[in-house]
Amino acid sequence: MSVEVTKLSTGLTVVTDAMPHLETASLGVWVAAGSRDEFHDEHGISHLLEHMAFKGTSRRNARQIAEEIEAVGGDINAATSIESTAYYARVLRADVPLALDVLSDILSDPSFEPAELAREQNVIVQEIGAVEDTPDDVVFEHLQSTAYPGQAVGRSILGTPATVRAFDKDALQTYLSRNYRAPDMVISAAGALDHATVVEEAERRFASFAGAGGPTPEPARFGGGARIEPRDLEQVHIAMGLQGLPQGHKDLYSLQVFTSALGGGMSSRLFQEVREKRGLCYAIYSFHVPYSDTGMFGLYAGTDAADVPELMRVVVEEIGNAVDTITEEEIARCRAQMKVGLLMALESSGARAEQLARQMIAYGRPIPLEEIVGKIEAVTVESARAAGRALLSGSQPAIAALGPGSGLESAATIAESLVRRAA
């Protein structure tokens, strides 16, 4: 195995996977802090900080940050999620030290200059507006807030125009100092690189990130319920969620396979029955998102307002039937899809670096491919069905519906029948 791990004296972890056949390397800093780590008056600050990190330091202005990486043919970017924030770059082997220098600079010495802050706050307000104009984004934000009401894990990552505009330099610095701590940070790299070089650069450039880890966010509580919003749209967008499983749960892979068989591709039950046989929608799929202490199974569909009741009845019927009738053929197909997905990640340095970082944050170690494949292969018809039954016997569903028509409430009523049926 080409993966190497070194924990620095500060507690920061460096993990790499050398891929000698490549000429480029993907590397980044993953911080185990995201939107659910925000206090009640910090809604949206994680995402704002991600933006502001690129807006200048004492050594570089915003233009120089971009130009130094692009001058060597590389690229640099970042992303904020519910439980983590990532800053990453892709460069040639010789430019790995440069990338680490830029990444350390923007995280250890951001200037948060007021004029840049005002501009970026306006940019994010525009981003929030773009999401509001995209109904299949809005419906997922509504689903998250319905599933986890009154909690940071249920709030929009972007924040609101009011909360974003309220933050100043001190608020950003306070959040950064509290959450960007070495024990909660992983430098992950894959591709054309040398582990010792990455470690040496990390020790020198990230020494300022010291101290104990940041505070643990409050435990998630799955609520359930419905959020119905009439809008003048061409379609009704529906998303439904049930309480799933957290990372590391012994039944996680069984539930992932169940989810895939139900709505994970063109051969899945939902796609075949709802779209191919009945023509009730263009897009329909199911998913499962595991977090550190909870998880959410969900599904999405977009349909004509007149077809909402029939679509939801078919969805409920298919989920209920799958618990009892999923076959070995379906399980084998889903196992194959999951294994191929793993192998595809190994072919991309960027995907591999992200995979390693997430494993280190979630499990504290890189997970060998053979171990993951073994867990996938261990899923049986019986274990997948059991995972589905446990899913339906858990929480009340959360449902969000967005679109035209006066009968959107029927979607919530029919969804609730899923749990009643299981009981």
**What is the amino acid identity at position 187?**
I
What 3-state class would DSSP assign to 181?
Answer: coil
- Residue 137's contacts (CB-CB under 8 Å, 6 or more residues apart) are 131
Residue 243 to residue 301: CA distance in whole angstroms: 19
Residue 209 to residue 183: CA distance in whole angstroms: 9
- Straight-line distance from the first to the last Cα atom of the chain, in angstroms, rounded to the nearest whole number: 47
Tell whether the torsion through CA atoms of 167, 55, 85 and 137 is positive or negative. Answer: positive
What 3-state class would DSSP assign to 400?
Answer: strand
Catalytic pick from 38, 42, 50, 83? 50
Instruction: Report CA-CA distances (Å) from 250 to 45, 245, 254, 292.
Output: 34, 9, 9, 14
What 3-state class would DSSP assign to 279?
Answer: coil
Bridge-based pairing of strands 284-290 and 185-191 is unpaired
Residue 390 to residue 49: CA distance in whole angstroms: 39
- Residue 239's contacts (CB-CB under 8 Å, 6 or more residues apart) are 139, 140, 142, 143, 298, 299, 300, 399, 400, 401
Residue 14 to residue 195: CA distance in whole angstroms: 9
The answer to whether residue 50 is catalytic is yes
Closest CA relative to residue 379, chosen from 251, 277, 293: 251
Overall residue count recorded for the chain in this entry:
423
Catalytic residues: 50
